[in-house]
């Protein structure tokens, strides 16, 4: 996990990928359990926003910045 933050009382993880279509990895699942994360965002350069599984969501960098700064 590249970044872990507490937002609104929830522990959120961020994984940054350069891939054009990020995939769920075993390390994401392990980090979610080990760190007690309520949600993981897989941040990548650009593209659509979608879920890899429940509570593991892929989002473009611009959307992440926009959401964190508002």
Q: Does 70 score more than 80 pLDDT?
A: no
Q: Which of 43, 37, 44, 51 is nearest to 6 (CA)?
A: 37
C-alpha distance from residue 7 to each of 37, 38, 39, 68 (Å): 11, 10, 11, 9
pLDDT by residue (tens digit) across 7-66? 889 999 999 999 889 999 999 999 999 999 999 999 999 999 999 999 999 999 999 888
Question: How far apart, in whole angstroms, are the C-alpha atoms of residue 68 and residue 34?
Answer: 24
């Amino acid at each position: 996990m590249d970044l872990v933050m507490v937002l609104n009382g929830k522990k959120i993880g961020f994984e940054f990928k350069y891939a054009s279509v990020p995939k769920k990895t075993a390390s994401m699942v392990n980090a979610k359990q080990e760190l007690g994360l309520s949600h993981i965002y897989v941040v990548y350069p650009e593209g659509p926003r979608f879920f890899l599984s429940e509570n593991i969501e892929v989002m473009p960098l611009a959307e992440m910045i926009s959401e964190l700064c508002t």
